[in-house]
Amino acid sequence: MFNSKDVKKILIMRWGSMGDLAICSAVINDICKHFRDVEIQLNVEPPWDKLFQDDTRFSKIHNIKVRKAPRLSSTRAWLSMLRREKFDLIIDLQCNDRSMILLNLARLLGVAPKYRMGTKSGLAYNLDASPYGEKVHALEILRAAAKGLGVDCQTGQPVLSIPNEYQQSAEALLQEHGLQAKNFAVLVPGSSLSGAKKRWGVKNYAALAELLFEQGVESCAILGGPDEIELCSQLADSIGEKAVNLCGKTQLLEIPVIAERAQYMVSNDTGTAHLAAAADIAMVIICGPTDASRVHPIGKRVATLQAPMECFAQHPAEQCMAKVSPSQVWLALENL
């Protein structure tokens, strides 16, 4: 039987990517509110520990690389951390084979905490998560662990603590490129190379930019990561002088600040969009091979448009993604 009075120190585990952690931050926020008088530490993998830099909700961030790392050394480091910190409760929001193996090892070695909660049941856990249905959004799966602890889950968008240095550097970047607050749109045309089928395409984004300009938007800022530099450059060339290519020029925690200053944002299903959803901005996400109902960013003003998923088994991704038109995207933005 769980007794919250026994809990003085909590470890929250989540090793996912940028998008995973952006969604997870909403549940983490609810957990921190519920256990406001308890010491809470966070276990994430680099480089995503930077998302929680100087976040006062956590006494420590453990950036131990567990996935794609030498298993013996990473296991030793992780178990040593548990032995040293002596947690009362672990909330496993990763809840995969690897995290369950580690928790079972900790249990066998006598370094596991008294209480262990995951998003599903198993030998690694001795507390029951709240049930959830099939094919639900990732947020509801993560909430299952929190609800099982009696947490009232109300947060519906990413919650990130952004240090002043990133607020200031983002403002300086916008000023450098003449981007005035609420007079520009953010376009995110890329995705990782492994997710290239998710891309809406330069032609469609350029056509959307023309529609935005007709509606009074002054310029378009293009965001992207290292895998997308060439793609972003192609889009900037297609749009012309009203394009501001910021691809590869932004730091992680500058993205929500830039999004907050923009009027609109349009993106593929990518981590950048999940991070930007921490801002209060009208945002449309274009999904194709991924199910929008399960993967879309969470936020107050986020809409998704779904290319027919069955199309991708029979036709090229470019042809399928083009079934979402620029005019549809503009209408969705207008409705927001």
pLDDT tens-digit map of 264-274: 999 999 999 99
Asked whether 308 and 327 are in contact (CB, 8 A), the reply is no
Helix (H, G, I), strand (E, B) or coil at 324: coil
Q: What is the pLDDT of residue 91?
A: 98
Q: What is the pLDDT of residue 111?
A: 97
Cis before residue 47, ω within 30 degrees of 0?
yes
DSSP H helices in the chain: 18-34, 71-85, 97-109, 138-148, 164-176, 202-214, 229-239, 255-261, 271-276, 292-295, 317-321, 326-335
Asked whether 266 and 303 are in contact (CB, 8 A), the reply is no
0.75 cut: is pTM over it?
A: yes
Q: What is the pLDDT of residue 194?
A: 65
Name the DSSP letter for residue 186: E
- 32, 30, 29, 27: which is closest to 7 by C-alpha? 32
Q: What is the pLDDT of residue 70?
A: 76
Let me know if 130 is exposed, middle or buried by CB neighbors in 10 A (0-12, 13-18, 19+). middle
Average pLDDT along the chain, 336 residues, taken 10 residues at a time? 94 94 97 97 95 95 87 93 98 95 96 97 94 92 97 96 96 96 95 80 97 97 91 97 96 96 96 94 94 91 95 93 97 95
Q: What is the pLDDT of residue 193?
A: 60
